[in-house]
Amino acid sequence: MALPLVVNLISAQPDFRTTNSTGQNPLPILLPIWTLTKPRPAAWYIDGPTGSKSPVTFHIPNNITATYTINLEFEGVFTFPTAWVGHYVVTASLGGTEVLKSPPGDIPPPPPSAPVPTNLMLNNFIVSAPITTAICPIPFRWAGDFEWKIYNVEVPGKHLSMLPLTFVSHYRQVLTPLIVNTASSQPVTSRLELCWASAEASAGPLFVNSDLLKTRVNFNSSYPVGLLRQFWPQPTEFNTIPNIISRAVYGPWYANRAMQTIWSWATPHQPNRPQYDCIQGAPAYNVGYYGGSFNLNQWLAACAPGGTCNCYDLAAISQLACAVFLDQNGNEELFSQWVFQNPNGFVLPGTLYGRDTEPNCNNPFWLQGEYHNCDIHYM
Q: Are 110 and 79 in contact (CB under 8 A)?
A: no
**Non-local CB neighbours of 280 within 8 Å, separated by 6+ positions:** 365, 368
Per-residue confidence (pLDDT) for residue 170, from 0 to 100: 27
Q: Angle 247-264/311-323 helices, nearest 10 degrees?
A: 140
**Non-local CB neighbours of 29 within 8 Å, separated by 6+ positions:** 13
Whether the per-residue pLDDT at 90 is higher than 90: the answer is yes
Please give the backbone phi and psi of residue 47, each rounded to the nearest 5 degrees, phi first: -140, 85
Q: Are 219 and 201 in contact (CB under 8 A)?
A: yes
Mean pLDDT computed over 136-148: 97
Span 155-191, pLDDT tens digits = 754 322 222 222 222 222 233 333 333 222 246 789 9
pTM score over 0.85: yes
| pLDDT band at residue 370 under the 50/70/90 scheme | low
